[in-house]
Structure 1
Amino acid sequence: MRPEGRDELDSLYFDYPQFDPPASIDSSGRAAVAIVGAGPVGLVAALTLARGGVHSVVLEQNSTFNDGSRAICVARQSFHILERLGAVAPFVEKALGWTTGRSFYRGQQILEFQMPHSEDEKFLPMYNLQQQYIERFLWEAASRRPEIELRWQSEVTAVEDDGAGVTLQVTDPLRSYTLNAGWVLAADGARSIVRARRGLRLEGENYEGRYVIADVQMAHDYPTIRRALFDPACMPGATVLIHRQPDNIWRIDYQLGEGESPEEATREATVRARVSAVLAEIGHQGSWELEWWSVYSANTLALADYRDGRIFFVGDSAHIVPIFGVRGLNNGLADAENIGWKLAMVINGDACPQLLDSYTPERRGATLDVFANASRSARFMTPPTAGWRLMRDAALSLALDHPFAGQFANPRQMTPYTYAHSPATLADDPAFGAGPVPGAVVPNLRLTGGDFLSDHLGHGFCGLLFTGPHWELAGELGQLLAEFEPSLRILRIGPVAGDDGATVADPDGRIAARFDAMPGSFYLLRPDMHIYGRWRQLVPDRICTALKQYFHAAREVQ
């Protein structure tokens, strides 16, 4: 919503482009993949497919980007996804990074937390950036890829899967037509048309608490720190969240009062009064302008299966999570990359179709993990019953005099999920006593040259071979693995760097210690930086046998 007298897209700081429907359509063509929805999740899926050389048609019913800040917190692992897609540069330039959060109870600070960060990390734990910019930067990256065709003002009205492909009925202002696709990725949000047309429903828990989001433009010198106000004087009994964003935009989320209707809460006069009270609470005496506002509720809802034949549900079309802990957008981007690289490998004949069966176990498992953490945060931020409120308020009162109790107000931000029980993760080698396990995201490390381990992993499968003096192992292993994945990169880690660009120096053994590696140890990494498997001592035949499940079988049937 916008203030009276301003158009729907009349922003104080962002110029919305207007995209026309496609001038012409090749009705005889067939899309390898159709992606429904050109939000952040749909565009990351398209870019991931393009990185694998797969063409896609992206269908978006709107004529421009989503308005308002909406999802604003982008986590470190999402920046790694953007980097792998070649799209991270404008995000780094524009976004505001942060590591610190502060919580207040009745005006008194009860907690200051620091998100995990060290010199070994290339990116900060979290960045604030309005969703309009997220979509614009991803659209710019997609526009540079010939593998991506983006069709604006294109509404999907029907979806039929015949087992060999998917038929979509599409309507735009110029025509109605049929689009035949090999596969469909539904990235069309919480009100997914594809999900509705397939007769599927989200299941889970709805929370009673509702929040208003208000974007305010003002000159305010508070640093980029997440602030949570519990039971503030400006709104007794409520919870308020405040985030700084680029362009002097401040995001204020505040809880609706008990029994207050969304219609009353979103009246402009009501929003202005509430925002004024919050700004007075934090000591802002200067001028401010109201930019945009909306309302949302905290829910934990998900599909039982993220796959429906040749249709995969990605992001909010598959699950809805509470915003507390900034898990929604980041969970969706991980969905998009996960199905993107797997589908690209299957389409290209580099993996057998059974690899796609790992999508739901991995990403629904991640969603359920998010639910477990976000639900705790949601119950603390928005107590669902009088009993929960009593316990929450008791913990906050205790925190006034006992710092340890302030940890109850720590939202515990999202961390990457470990695919320990995925069919696309190998059983661990029991000879390891430490180090990152199969299914986990590979840890990053700053190297002696000032760059990072992640800079050397490439964009496909990558093997980390701890060689010691045994350089010949790399050539032997590379020849064997090329049978399964020709583009696989072998990165050697040894005492000194080589001249071929395929060796990382580890003179003090710090990398080997982090991975619990010895000369001959081998880690195999997936394109999404998750560990596929690891071996304490290199036995090439064992590694090749493990890869046959998905990769050798694919080449045998081509």
Structure 2
Amino acid sequence: MSSYTYQHYPYRRPPELDGKAARRPVVIVGAGMAGPTLALELAARGVPTVVLDEDDTVSFGSRSICQAKHSLEVWDRFGIAQRMVDKGITWEQGEVYLGDQAVYRFNLQPEPGHKFPAFVNLQQYYVEEFLYERCLAEPAIEMRVLNKVVGVMPHDDHVVVEVETPDGRYTLEAEWLVACDGVRSPVRHMLGLAFEGEVFHDQFLIADIRLLDELPKERRFWFYPPFHPTNSVLLHRQADNVLRVDFQLGHDADAEEEKKTENIDCRLRLMFGPEARWEHEWTSVYTFTCRMMQRFMHGRVVFAGDAAHVVSPFGARGGNGAIADVDNLAWKLALIVTGKAPEALLDSYDSERRAAARENILNSTRSTDFITPKFPASRAFRDAALALARDFPFARALINSGRLSVPTLQPESPLDTPDRDGDWVGGPGPGRAMLDAPVGLKGENGGWLIDRLGRDFNLLTFGQDRVEPPDGVTGIAVGGNGLAWRRYDARPGTTYLIRPDRYVAARWRSPDPAAITAAVERAQGRNTGRSPA
């Protein structure tokens, strides 16, 4: 059985089949998590999109369940993040076990003062449903289900897409095509592009169940538990009283045998005891890879999310990385489509997000190597770290049961203006994500900093009347001297330039209008030379 009801979205005959063809600014392939998020971001900037998907419902199974704070902050711009928080399971605590003994407990967000929690566990089908419904309410977004892309023909100034529907085939012209069509990416295959990386042969069993007893709220990870003594087990609670249990099986396991209900029930009975009761939701046996395209930009075809890079599931970097991709892409693509920035601005999408993918793959691979050591020496190191961790704090830092997703760095981005004035001992520098905090803005009481930001570029000034921003930049004065000041290493007059994707582009102790204007120009790709300090 399933606690979730899969609805089927209505198919509508595309106008191109009746000769009503028009070139579209942006066509998006894929209506998972990334594609609809990109469509909403573009619609907010006045850019209409067509979203094509070969299916007519959301993804089957819970899949990507850990929705990180940074992703929630993106979705909050469209009024759906709180709905996700309310539906999902908020968790910040995690426990690591060796055998049946707790080794240590950790807190993902030890410091208060953020609008959103570090993580919310919510099944991917709910995230897709909320995004899809929001897209249907947006006139600038056309959602086309049962529209399967079967051909892609790039040209110098546009892309032609051939689409198959229940009513026949049609072609659609786009100024830009964005492939958010998943790890198997038909668009990538049609263009014959490589997807290189490392294959991990260890197998894992996912058993999503509705446990009809008391449910744990925190994330738990066991190494060598008595109910599965040769390998590891991971436990997450999800919405609708669903538990995800991941059993490490080893590379020699028979996947078809492991997926049989009676065999899963034997494992669960050992884990939860003879009195436990449950109902099955979804089962899968999986292996995984870490891969990345050499470039995410191929002419006017752009790749994002799993179509461009894929990581192991340990660390919640897949779905959250995809949302970060389209958050980076949307404002740049909108500036280009509306004629406000050169096409070369998209080179920074390629360089910034490839750097982020490398960081995610590195962290994901390290987690995988710790959880599934390949050599006797690495297993001995892992087991020694686990044995010492309960009594010695230094050993806890060596345990890697899936280092969880945080915003990646964007080092040496051509869009950033490096620090050149003042002594900075803290605060997010250029290339780092901004930090949320409770604030008391001039003339107002309280609120969250992320709620005060405009849609595009923002200029934060601490402790005085706001600095007059250039055209198109929102100016915000941060009063008081509280947590926001500490997080931004602020003094009176400290000023930050925040990009639309909420990354810091520049900061100053004592800015002047020329320096601010030059930094904005550089961040929009119109001047990547040295800016005045």
* TM-score scaled by length of structure 1: 0.89
Structure 1 position 47, deviation (Å): 0.9
Cα distance in 1 for residues equivalent to 2:127 and 2:524: 35
Whether the 8 Å contact between 2:156 and 2:299 is mirrored in structure 1 is: yes
Whether the 8 Å contact between 1:301 and 1:320 is mirrored in structure 2 is: yes
Structure 1 position 349, deviation (Å): 1.8
Equivalent of 1:322 in 309, 312, 335: 312
Change (3 A) 1:172 1:552: closer
Equivalent of 1:362 in 349, 352, 359: 352
Whether the 8 Å contact between 1:52 and 1:344 is mirrored in structure 2 is: yes
1:458 paired to 2:449: no
Cα distance in 2 for residues equivalent to 1:218 and 1:226: 16
Structure 1 position 165, deviation (Å): 0.4
Equivalent of 1:309 in 284, 296, 299: 299
Equivalent of 1:88 in 81, 88, 113: 81
- Within 5 Å, give how 1:12-27 maps onto structure 2: 12-26=2-16, 27=20
Provide the residue aligned with 1:523 in structure 2. Answer: 496
1:114 paired to 2:104: no
Cα distance in 1 for residues equivalent to 2:251 and 2:104: 26
Cα distance in 1 for residues equivalent to 2:488 and 2:391: 42
Cα distance in 2 for residues equivalent to 1:16 and 1:94: 16
User: CA RMSD, aligned part only?
Assistant: 2.0
CA offset digits 1:282-338 (Å, max 9, x no partner): xx7221111111122232111111111111111100111111111111111101111
Whether the 8 Å contact between 2:203 and 2:253 is mirrored in structure 1 is: no
Could you tell which deviates more after superposition, 311-320 or 211-220?
211-220
Structure 1 position 169, deviation (Å): 0.6
Cα distance in 2 for residues equivalent to 1:332 and 1:214: 25
Q: Which runs of 5+ in 1 are unaligned?
A: 1-10, 494-504
Could you tell which deviates more after superposition, 442-451 or 303-312?
442-451
Cα distance in 2 for residues equivalent to 1:533 and 1:466: 14
Provide the residue aligned with 1:532 in structure 2. Answer: 505
Whether the 8 Å contact between 1:227 and 1:242 is mirrored in structure 2 is: yes
Cα distance in 1 for residues equivalent to 2:208 and 2:303: 30
In the alignment of these two chains, the number of paired residues is 518
1:421 paired to 2:412: yes
Change (3 A) 1:242 1:429: same
SS in 1 for 2:184: coil
Provide the residue aligned with 1:160 in structure 2. Answer: 153
Whether the 8 Å contact between 1:79 and 1:88 is mirrored in structure 2 is: yes
Cα distance in 2 for residues equivalent to 1:430 and 1:206: 46
Equivalent of 2:50 in 57, 69, 74: 57
Cα distance in 1 for residues equivalent to 2:302 and 2:110: 34
- Within 5 Å, give how 1:378-397 maps onto structure 2: 378-397=368-387
1:431 paired to 2:404: no
Structure 1 position 193, deviation (Å): 0.2
- Within 5 Å, give how 1:326-337 maps onto structure 2: 326-337=316-327
Provide the residue aligned with 1:501 in structure 2. Answer: none
Whether the 8 Å contact between 1:44 and 1:336 is mirrored in structure 2 is: yes
Whether the 8 Å contact between 1:111 and 1:409 is mirrored in structure 2 is: no
Whether the 8 Å contact between 1:301 and 1:319 is mirrored in structure 2 is: yes
SS in 1 for 2:240: coil
User: Which residue type is aligned with residue 521 of structure 2?
Assistant: K
Change (3 A) 1:439 1:400: closer
Whether the 8 Å contact between 1:119 and 1:446 is mirrored in structure 2 is: no
Equivalent of 2:290 in 297, 300, 318: 300
Whether the 8 Å contact between 2:92 and 2:119 is mirrored in structure 1 is: yes
Equivalent of 1:543 in 491, 495, 516: 516
Provide the residue aligned with 1:346 in structure 2. Answer: 336
Structure 1 position 443, deviation (Å): 1.4
SS in 2 for 1:344: helix
Change (3 A) 1:407 1:521: closer
Structure 1 position 401, deviation (Å): 5.2
Whether the 8 Å contact between 2:258 and 2:264 is mirrored in structure 1 is: yes
CA offset digits 1:405-432 (Å, max 9, x no partner): 3443343321111223111222222423
Change (3 A) 1:151 1:255: same
Whether the 8 Å contact between 2:2 and 2:282 is mirrored in structure 1 is: no
User: Which residue type is aligned with residue 490 of structure 1?
Assistant: G
Change (3 A) 1:202 1:465: same
Structure 1 position 553, deviation (Å): 4.7
1:374 paired to 2:383: no
Cα distance in 1 for residues equivalent to 2:392 and 2:496: 45
SS in 2 for 1:408: coil
Structure 1 position 206, deviation (Å): 1.4
User: Which residue type is aligned with residue 242 of structure 1?
Assistant: L
Cα distance in 1 for residues equivalent to 2:526 and 2:107: 47
Cα distance in 2 for residues equivalent to 1:225 and 1:518: 39
Cα distance in 2 for residues equivalent to 1:181 and 1:206: 35
User: Which residue type is aligned with residue 514 of structure 1?
Assistant: R
User: Which residue type is aligned with residue 211 of structure 1?
Assistant: F
CA offset digits 1:37-60 (Å, max 9, x no partner): 000111111111111111111111
User: Which residue type is aligned with residue 193 of structure 2?
Assistant: L
CA offset digits 1:315-367 (Å, max 9, x no partner): 10011111111111111110111111210111112222221110111111111
CA offset digits 1:50-89 (Å, max 9, x no partner): 1111111111111211111110000111110111233213
Task: State the identity as a percent.
Answer: 36
Whether the 8 Å contact between 2:439 and 2:482 is mirrored in structure 1 is: no
User: Which residue type is aligned with residue 508 of structure 2?
Assistant: W
Whether the 8 Å contact between 2:505 and 2:523 is mirrored in structure 1 is: no
Provide the residue aligned with 1:291 in structure 2. Answer: 281
Whether the 8 Å contact between 2:290 and 2:310 is mirrored in structure 1 is: yes
Structure 1 position 519, deviation (Å): 3.6
- Within 5 Å, give how 1:111-150 maps onto structure 2: 111-150=104-143
User: Which residue type is aligned with residue 128 of structure 1?
Assistant: N
Provide the residue aligned with 1:232 in structure 2. Answer: 225
User: Which residue type is aligned with residue 424 of structure 1?
Assistant: L
Whether the 8 Å contact between 1:298 and 1:378 is mirrored in structure 2 is: no
Change (3 A) 1:436 1:406: closer
Cα distance in 2 for residues equivalent to 1:145 and 1:510: 36
Structure 1 position 272, deviation (Å): 2.8
Provide the residue aligned with 1:490 in structure 2. Answer: 475
- Within 5 Å, give how 1:184-333 maps onto structure 2: 184-280=177-273, 285-333=275-323
Structure 1 position 144, deviation (Å): 1.0
Whether the 8 Å contact between 2:23 and 2:174 is mirrored in structure 1 is: yes
Whether the 8 Å contact between 1:419 and 1:425 is mirrored in structure 2 is: no
Equivalent of 1:443 in 430, 435, 440: 435
CA offset digits 1:429-475 (Å, max 9, x no partner): 2423232201111111112434111111121111112353xx4x73x
Cα distance in 2 for residues equivalent to 1:162 and 1:101: 50
* TM-score scaled by length of structure 2: 0.93
